[in-house]
Structures are given as structure tokens and as C-alpha cells.
Amino acid sequence: MTVRVRFAPSPTGFLHVGGARTALFNWLYARRAGGTFLLRVEDTDRARSRPEHTQAILDGLAWLGLDADEGPVFQADGVERHRRDALKLLDQGAAYRCFCTAEELAARREEAKRAGAGYGYDGRCGRLDAAVSDARAAAGEPFAVRVRAPEEAIEWEDMIHGTMSFPAGSIDDFIILRSDGTPVYNLAVVSDDAEAGMNHVIRGDDHLSNTPKQILLYRALGRPLPAFGHVPLILGSDGKRLSKRHGAMSVLAYRDEGYLPAGMVNFLALLGWSPGDDREVFDVGGLIEAFSIGRVLKKSAVFDLEKLGWLNGRHIADAPAVELAGAVVEILGREAREEGRDLSETHPGLDSSPERLARIIDLVKGRPRTLSALARQVSPFFAATIRYDEDAVKRFWKRPEEAAFHLRRLAERLAGEAAFRDVQTLESEVRGLAAELEVGAGRVINPLRVALMGQGVSPGIFEVLEAMGRERTLARVLAAARALDAWIATA
């Protein structure tokens, strides 16, 4: 049997973490089994469905790399088939007309509430004589269609939870076709899944209560049951259902925040799934190879934004520099435009020196956790002007006369082209100056770092010097010395 699975989002909102995780598990299951992954947009709620939400869902899946083998198909296109299936059950006697109005049902529900009892539909319209039901319908009286729920337990073997059982009497006769002729969710889903030949349905735990109703519909329609798997929900750090207050956003918002699709996919996979060993960092190929629905955990996963950052940082560190360069140029270019300037003004040479940019990205990519942070690390190497971080200045330029003196001596020592022959030579020159001045190397290196990068942390300073180059290094060192002179004069 060829595995056929689907992801069926509703376009009433954007693609969020929970939906993206469900899509990923279905996609991995299909790819691992050599099966088919179908995308179905469940757009029958016309009042709340929006084309922009549909597009955002498609864009989010595309960004994550979750390509569909079939679709997207749209649930609204199957409405006539849904109605035919409902009327088929009515003709078979597996369903019946319900003439109860919304007002009557609300009154009975309120009466049960006052009596302190739970309300369930009592099946009264199901006991109407067939001739009476036919006559009322023929007279134009509005009716919904309800399925007869059998008085027996409904069980299935869940791919994740094992044996699941709903006891006899726990399900009322439920509506499958409203009085306006529109199908109800459970009927539409069963009709669509049966028509598309879905043989595995993997979805969230919030659908558990729908499953016994859908099993009844599969049986009544004479269609084969798929295997069901219900993935536990994702919780926030406080144990409550995941929401924006926990840091959860739409998938595309994570893209805009500077996360890599590989990092996001890795993170989503580990939300409720374990490979069975200590591995945490996976590329997509590794996830496909390792994925097993049997290793999806039964308990809810906890959304950990810190872990997402760590994983994303690992993927940035592992990515080839040439694959990161475009994002760095785009981010710094956008920031320049927000200032009303061109990238060539704020970061001259950034987009015209691909080899140098790649070399610098390789130098700094081990630390940042997002592409935005990576761009900030790259920025000082190309920036037309350097802003000196206040904390770094207080810490490493706290002796301004000494710092200015050391920087000018460094400029003299590094003026010759021979000093920039390689990293080892640069280290020898800098440490040699410290030895001449009879000070610890840090008294020279730390002011130099602030002069070059504007901040108190950086990759190895000698690698920074090599990447910065002789001309830019000398210009920044002397500019820092002049800034220190100005501060001394106004002190």
C-alpha cells in the first residue's frame, strides 16, 4: 500500500507553529515511506476564509520546503459531493431529517443547564414515522440531516496513542448537513479524505473528539478506514496552550526575524518527536531517514524559543557562506533604505566583493543565532562609519591617553604591507608592540578591537585584522585615536 497523507489547513489565519509541525510530520512520514503528501485547503467557512491567508499558508510551506505531491485542492470545490454523501446516508436510513429549530435546541439546552444536567440531542426526529418526515420535507419545512449514532463503543488503534475508545452513548446523533444545505466539517473531511484515497490521517490531539464521528461516517458510507494518528498539542513554558504570549508567531514571521528554514524545520521536528538517541541537529535528509511515527511522544511538547535560537545558530554555523551572503546583503540593504540611503553609502563594497564577504561570513558565523544577528556581525567589516559601543568604550578605553598612544604606535607598526602577509605575522606585530611597551597584550588588543569593530567582542582579533585589510585597518585605528584625542580635550 502506498502511503497517502494530507495536511488540511483552514485559511482563517496564518500558518502557525502547530500547523507547521503537523504539516512537517505528514511530509516526513510520506517521504520516509516513499508515499504521497497532499495539500488541501479547507475553505468551506466562507465568512472567515481569506485569500491572503491561503497565500500565507502556501508561502509558509514553501519557505519550510514542504512541497506537496498533489494540490493544493480546495474543500469548497467538493461541496456537491459532500451533499450527495449526506443524502446517500439519508436514503440508506443511516441518517434522518431533523426539523428542530435552533431556538428549540437552545431552549432544551438551557433547560438542561438549569436542571444541572448535561445536554445531548434526544433523537426525537429520528423516531418520526418516515411518511411524516417525508411529508414535512415535501411541505418545505427546513431540516438538517443527522447521523444515527449506534449504541456501541467506538475504538481504533491510534498510531501514536495506541488503543483509543469512546464508550457507548458518548456520541449523540450529530448533524452532517445544515438546514441551509451546507455540509458540516466532519462530513466534508471524511468525504474529501475518502475521495482522495487518504489511508493515514495524522493531525493534532484537538481532533480526537472528531475521530469517532468520522469513523461512524466512514462505516456508514462503506469506505475503508484510514489509520489515525493524533499528535499531542504544543504548550508554552507555563504549561498552557501555545499562544503569542509564549513567543509563537506565524511561520513567515520567523522567516522575517532571520531564522533559516533548516533551523525551523529541525526545531519543529523535535517538538514532540525523538530520534531515540541524543541527536538534536538534523538536516532535512537526516530527518527523513530518522523519522518514525512510532517515536512521536504521547505527552505535549513545550515550545522553547531559546532552543530554536540555539538550533538556528547551529544551522547558520554549518551553512556555506555563499548561501548566507544574499540574506546579509538584503538585511543591510533594507536597513540602509530605512535610513533613506543606499547600501553603497552605508557599506561600500559589500555587494561587489563576494569573495571577501564570504570570507568574513565564515569568520563570524559561529556566534549569531539569526540572520539579523549575522548581518550585525558582518556590518563593521564594511561600514562606512563605526559607532563605538558605550559599554565597550567605558571598559576598554577607560585610559584614553594610553589607548590613543597604543593605537598610534600600532598604526606605525602595521603601516607596511609586509605586516599583512598572514595572520601569524599580524599576531607577531601586535604582540611585539605589547612587549616593547612592556604591557600585557590585552592593553593593546582590547582598544584595537573597539577601534576596528566598535564593540568589545569579535572573532579572533588577528583574523579580524586580516579580513579588514591594511587600508581599512589603518583608517579605523587612526580615526579612533582622533576620537580619543577629542574626548580627552573636552574632559
Q: Are 42 and 75 in contact (CB under 8 A)?
A: yes
- Number of H helices and E strands in the chain, helices first, is 21, 12
Residues contacting 462, CB < 8 A, separation 6+: 423, 426, 427, 430
Three cell numbers at 382? 564594511
* Set 88, 113, 240, 244: catalytic member: 244
Alpha-carbon distance 251 to 62, whole Å? Answer: 11
User: How many CB atoms are closer than 10 A to CB 301?
Assistant: 21
244 included as an active-site residue: yes
Three cell numbers at 424? 601569524
**Please, how many CA atoms are within 13 Å of residue 423, restricted to the half-sphere of its CB?**
8
Q: What is the 3-state secondary structure (H, E, C) of the chain?
A: CCCEEEECCCCCCCCEHHHHHHHHHHHHHHHHHCCEEEEEECCCCCCCCCHHHHHHHHHHHHHHCCCCCEEEEEHHHHHHHHHHHHHHHHHHCCEEEECCCHHHHHHHHHHHHHCCCCCCCCCHHHHCCHHHHHHHHHCCCCCEEEECCCCCCEEEEECCCEEEEECCCCCCCEEEECCCCCECHHHHHHHHHHHHCCCEEEEEHHHCCCHHHHHHHHHHHCCCCCEEEEECCEECCCCCECCHHHCCCEHHHHHHCCCCHHHHHHHHHCCCECCCCCCCCCCHHHHHHHCCHHHECCCCEECCHHHHHHHHHHHHHHCCHHHHHHHHHHHHHHHHHHCCCCHHHHCCCHHHCHHHHHHHHHHHCCCCCCHHHHHHHHHHHHCCCCCCCHHHHHHHCCCHHHHHHHHHHHHHHCCCHHHHCCHHHHHHHHHHHHHHHCCCCHHHHHHHHHHHHCCCCCCCHHHHHHHHCHHHHHHHHHHHHHHHHHHHHHC
Alpha-carbon distance 47 to 135, whole Å? Answer: 33
Q: Are 234 and 18 in contact (CB under 8 A)?
A: yes
Q: What are the catalytic residues?
A: 244
